[in-house]
């Protein structure tokens, strides 16, 4: 376990926008005051989204302080769920399941193809900061093995062609967003 050096002066309100705080407060209000742990996942999701798609020790600490739960409870949630990233990641995190069903049905080939196409290894991010590849435990889509998840969408029964299509679709989204930014910059 990480040996945190907690700074008791950290406060979520100093680290996040008022909108993000309001969103977390909304989740807290859904539960009776004595039930402090259920909003942890939602709070971490909000925090991660507002921090460029990853969590830091300081942010996890601040969430614990804000929800009034033990720091370890927040850390356990953040490390248990593969949707949380504890290091800086690319804009599109490609999570490949390599648990038993997916392994038996070719997860290794999926990983190899992605690594070759993106020229990075598992756990790495492309130089342009667009893609990260990571491996994850079973995502409960074993019937569609091998599978991956990216941008909150599951892709199942993967083949090299399907993977190429997924990468093309992401590249198209990226190109579109670059063009939009250029147009806005000119206006």
Q: How many residues bind ligand FES (CB under 6 A)?
A: 11
Q: How far is the CB of 116 from ligand FES (least distance, A)?
A: 21
Nearer to ligand FES, 50 or 162 (CB): 162
Contacts of 104 (CB under 8 A, 6+ apart): 145
Q: How far is the CB of 85 from ligand FES (least distance, A)?
A: 19
Query: Using CA atoms in the order 120, 121, 127, 131, what is the torsion angle rounded to 10 degrees?
Result: 90
CA distance 64 to 73: 8
Nearer to ligand FES, 120 or 138 (CB): 138
CA distance 187 to 185: 6
Nearer to ligand FES, 24 or 110 (CB): 110
For residues 146-173, one letter each, b for 16 or more C-beta atoms within 10 angstroms of the residue's C-beta and e for the rest, the string is bbbbbeeeebbebeeeebeebbeebeee
Nearer to ligand FES, 108 or 179 (CB): 108
Q: How far is the CB of 49 from ligand FES (least distance, A)?
A: 24
Q: How far is the CB of 138 from ligand FES (least distance, A)?
A: 3
Q: Compute CA distances 129 → 56, 120, 124, whole Å.
A: 18, 12, 10
Binding residues among 97-116 for ligand FES as defined by CB under 6 A: 97, 99-102
Q: What is the CA radius of gyration of the chain?
A: 19
The helices-and-strands tally (H runs, E runs) of the chain is 8, 4
Choose the binding region for ligand FES from 55-63, 95-103, 124-132, 163-171 (rule: CB under 6 A).
95-103
Query: Using CA atoms in the order 135, 41, 88, 115, what is the torsion angle rounded to 10 degrees?
Result: 20
Choose the binding region for ligand FES from 93-101, 121-129, 162-170, 173-181 (rule: CB under 6 A).
93-101
Per rule CB under 6 A, is residue 16 in the interface with ligand FES? no
Binding residues among 135-164 for ligand FES as defined by CB under 6 A: 138-139, 141-142, 145, 147
Q: What are the residues binding ligand FES (CB under 6 A)?
A: 97, 99-102, 138-139, 141-142, 145, 147
């Amino acid at each position: 376990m990480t040996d945190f050096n907690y700074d008791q002066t950290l406060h979520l309100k100093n680290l996040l926008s008022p909108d993000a705080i309001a969103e977390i407060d909304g989740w807290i209000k859904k539960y009776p005051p004595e039930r402090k742990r259920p909003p942890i996942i939602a709070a971490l999701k909000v925090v991660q989204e507002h921090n460029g798609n990853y969590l830091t020790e300081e942010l996890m600490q601040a969430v614990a302080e804000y929800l009034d739960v033990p720091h370890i409870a927040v850390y356990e949630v953040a490390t248990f769920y593969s949707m949380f990233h504890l290091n800086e990641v690319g804009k599109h995190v490609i999570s490949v399941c390599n648990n038993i069903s997916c392994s038996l049905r070719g997860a290794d080939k999926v990983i190899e193809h992605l690594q070759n196409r993106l020229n990075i290894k598992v756990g790495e991010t492309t130089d342009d900061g667009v893609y990260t590849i990571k491996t994850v435990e079973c995502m409960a889509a074993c019937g569609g093995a091998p599978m991956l998840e990216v941008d909150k969408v599951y892709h199942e029964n993967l083949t090299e062609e399907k993977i190429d299509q997924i990468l093309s679709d992401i590249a198209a989204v990226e190109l579109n967003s670059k063009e939009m930014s250029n147009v806005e910059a000119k206006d």
